[in-house]
Chains A and B, each alone.
Chain A
Amino acid sequence: EPEVTQTPSHQVTQMGQEVILRCVPISNHLYFYWYRQILGQKVEFLVSFYNNEISEKSEIFDDQFSVERPDGSNFTLKIRSTKLEDSAMYFCASSLGGAALETQYFGPGTRLLVL
């Protein structure tokens, strides 16, 4: 069964450093998403991406965040200057059609720790 993959599984970084989280969505999916989950809290929507552009973003997704689909398979989340409060699990997801109609499949997540 096809699945979403994410790398790395864990990342430790110093405050102020840039990190890039990588995702490989399911190959025929057209919609891509990033979420975060701070330990013990709910899953929070960050951004959705379709047709090589952001289709929706939340208030959390400020100027320090960016997303890119650099080639036909990868989908990345960049955090430019990490803060302590960016420590969380980051999930990538993909869906064949838009979120309102189609199941989103989640990757296993990248656990980011900012020191």
Chain B
Amino acid sequence: RKEVEQDPGPFNVPEGATVAFNCTYSNSASQSFFWYRQDCRKEPKLLMSVYSSGNEDGRFTAQLNRASQYISLLIRDSKLSDSATYLCVVILYTGGFKTIFGAGTRLFVKA
């Protein structure tokens, strides 16, 4: 089983739509969780951290379910500029901290 698993998509949605991405992780030693976005041929950039209590940043809401080892990202009122690959990232503790990226979910927002 992959350490971090995401639906690869692509998700094709119209502007203004709400879209949800899911991510599962396999190792219960996972300590911290993040969503990054990556534009084509660019570096990953932090979108938001993910907390057990859930957290929101404008149009973006992230949730963590430690019992199910599941992370989600909800984007409301999609904009054209949201088109990117969304990366689920888990920090694993194995004596030292290791960052594990999911393969990403591709989002296309169309006018």
- Choose among B32, B44, B91, B95 the residue that contacts A91 (Cβ–Cβ < 8 A): B44
* CB under 8 Å from chain A, chain B span 13-61: 31-32, 34, 38, 41-46, 49
In the complex, the answer to whether A109 meets B46 with C-beta atoms within 8 Å is: no
In the complex, the answer to whether B44 meets A106 with C-beta atoms within 8 Å is: yes
Is residue B101 contacting chain A, with contact meaning CB distance below 8 A? yes
Is residue A94 contacting chain B, with contact meaning CB distance below 8 A? no
In the complex, the answer to whether A99 meets B44 with C-beta atoms within 8 Å is: no
Using CB atoms, name the residue of chain B closest to A41.
Answer: B103
Contact-residue size bin, chain A (C-beta under 8 Å from the other chain):
20 to 34
Chain B hits for A106, CB < 8 A? 43-45
Residues of B in contact (CB 8 Å), total 25
A42 to B8, CA, bound (A): 11
Chain B hits for A41, CB < 8 A? 103
In the complex, the answer to whether A100 meets B93 with C-beta atoms within 8 Å is: yes
A55 to B99, CA, bound (A): 12
Is residue B87 contacting chain A, with contact meaning CB distance below 8 A? yes
Q: A41-B103, A42-B102, A44-B101 are in contact. Are A56 and B96 (CB under 8 A)?
A: yes
Q: A55-B96, A104-B46, A109-B43 are in contact. Are A42 and B101 (CB under 8 A)?
A: yes
Chain A hits for B96, CB < 8 A? 48, 55-56
In the complex, the answer to whether B97 meets A99 with C-beta atoms within 8 Å is: yes
Chain A hits for B101, CB < 8 A? 35, 42-45
**CB within 8 Å of B: which residues of A?**
33, 35, 41-45, 48, 55-56, 58, 89, 91, 98-101, 103-109
| A-B contacts, 16 listed (Cβ < 8 Å) | A33-B99, A41-B103, A42-B87, A45-B99, A45-B101, A48-B99, A56-B94, A56-B97, A58-B98, A89-B41, A91-B44, A101-B32, A103-B46, A104-B46, A106-B44, A109-B42
**CB within 8 Å of A: which residues of B?**
31-32, 34, 38, 41-46, 49, 87, 91, 93-104
